[in-house]
Structure 1
Amino acid sequence: MPLVTRDTLCRVWPKEYGEVEDEAHDLENSSTVPDQLAVIRLQKYQSLTSIEEVIAWLKNEAVSEAGVDLSGLPLDSQRLLTVLKDLGPFKRLDVSGNQQVDKDVFLQILETYKPLQWINITGCSISEDDLKELLSNHRKLFYSIGRILHPVFFTRNPGNEFPNALRFTLILRIQQSEVSSVSLPFFGIDQLIQNLTDTVELCNDPYSTAMFLEPRSGNLATIFGSARNKDEDWHDRDIELMPRRSFDLLKGGGYDIVVHNFFNSQSKYAILPPQVEGQKREIMDITAFLKHLEEQGSPPTDPDAAKNLVDLINGSFKLMSNLNAPMFEMSKAAAIRERTSQRFF
């Protein structure tokens, strides 16, 4: 990096180095480019008179390796679903800015195109209450979607409590037991594999594990709120979700993953499926868990990443035979601390 930038030289010696570019003007122009493109795109869409013309245009305009981008296009619900049928299959979908997309349309998309890796519903007619209703009444659909972009999932409002799709709980036993836990309202298998890989690599060392505990439990939330590929640098990750703290161990439905770290003996883990009324929740190992999700319609798209996670967990942890009562006491103690703490990150 130069000690003096070219812009600085231009400002001090304009005759020698030329006039400095107007940064404010450049920023203004660059910010209007996306708006202009969106207007042109919308005008083109509005000029099309038949659904056949719309589909033919969108196949060239909206479909790429990144997914299907229908952002800003006011497709009504019937036309949208017809278009998606012709543009599929896809794993990523952007319908942001479309007020015609309400909770019923969103539900149809989730049911039809399971599993989705990513969907953007920012600016759609879907409220916080709508999402709570869908998450409560159609839980299984949210066990197979990687990311949902909606403003409510980026806030830490204590009132924004959603049903638990997956909860990760870490217990560290040093002089006394400490606990940290985060809850996800939805999850997708591929990103979960990466999140678990990142977490388990740190959990191998109990001293490193301490970085997840109070008052730094936000570190655990950072991992599970991040989206990145296995070959992508940690600093290049996307933050697409703010997980909630969760201290009601084994309560609230959804999957539970519990890791119990010890200093003087091998650490343990357990995975439990969602509670089914009248049935006992049986502990699963990581292999059974991944197979279970595959049977539910969510196979990993990268078998090597899945195998790496299985090998990592099997080489680091023993499977718990049961979840004992003291764990519940630790959870209660953590809940008390949470009520007196305002920090998350």
Structure 2
Amino acid sequence: MPHPLPQAGFPAGSVRRLVVKIGSALLVDPAGEIRLGWLKGVVEDIAARHAAGQQIIVVSSGAIALGARRLGLPKGGRGSLDDAQAAAAVGQIALSHHWTGLLHQKGLTAAQMLLTLDDLEHRRRYLNAAATLERLLSLGVVPVINENDSVATTEIRFGDNDRLAARIGQAARADAVALLSDVDGLYTANPHSNPDAKLVPLVKRIDADIAAMADGGSGSGMGSGGMASKIAAARIATGAGAHLAIISGTPQRPLSAWENGANGTIFLAQHGKRARQNWLAGRLAIKGHVHIDAGAEKALLAGNSLLPAGVVSISGSFSRGDVVDIAGPEGRVLARGLIEYDAPDAIRIIGKRKSEIVELLGQPVRPALIHRDHLVML
């Protein structure tokens, strides 16, 4: 089923959950100071959307740039890995202070999450991050997320927050992602150097022609992302069922400016929820098998979670967050999902209801063996 065409601006009426990514060049001036007046305008936008019922997640760069100034490090703190890690450790405190204070002035509570690539690639930690985001949003909190640059190494780095924002959109089941940039969208060529470049307002599919328009450079010298990283982020987000927009972050209230007609490029989500979980259907090693009864099969086909009460048998050696196949009464594999329990506990709760599971395990339990948000029909 085609994903509905999004409204420009991703207003609260059409987008329930939005990830907003802010880069270092927008947030930090060339002297290494927070652009406080601009940040206040962004928070005004966030508060207005929150009041209208939209859930907002912020992915905020800026820690390295802020820390580098305070430590007097050359090259904006990016001269070496050691410098970047030290700058991030110092700058993250300052960055969090500004976000917390400004959101508090608007009656909003901020939460900080620092992640590495491995946190979202490892399935157990992915589930934990997704659950934390879900709970924070349900409490009306604004999560502020950054890459954990103080511990990240080449092997576990996103490398830019564009792709981190797209991955967060996937984990949080966001409807859309907005990348605030120093350009107001994707152009047919680099608009800074080519006056004939034309804005591409809508991208229905990312093909070779679209990819060729990307410019890998970061004009500010502060950030790590260019248009190439934004195209990569768009592939992740749209493949996960979320629209992605590249818009200008230079206006005082950039989200309002875009909603009121400013330029931007929207990359359309591919196939809604099915595409969001496409990665699950074909990319992960299967660690176990869950056999279910006819009632559970009917529940899955109706879009529900898999509860232990409908399970007949379980085989395999797996941990919470691993991928398992789900077979119906006739033995045909009909679904695949991320299991919520380690194998020994999963086997113990076969056929049990929640009250019985609590008695068996003696601890807070998750009602679903596989939640519908982490399950895909095959």
Which of the pair has the greater relative contact order for Cα pairs under 8 Å at 6+ separation? 2
Same fold (TM over 0.5): no
**Structure with the bigger percentage of helix:** 1
Q: TM-score, normalised by structure 2?
A: 0.24
Q: TM-score, normalised by structure 1?
A: 0.25
Between structure 1 and structure 2, the one with the greater Rg is 1
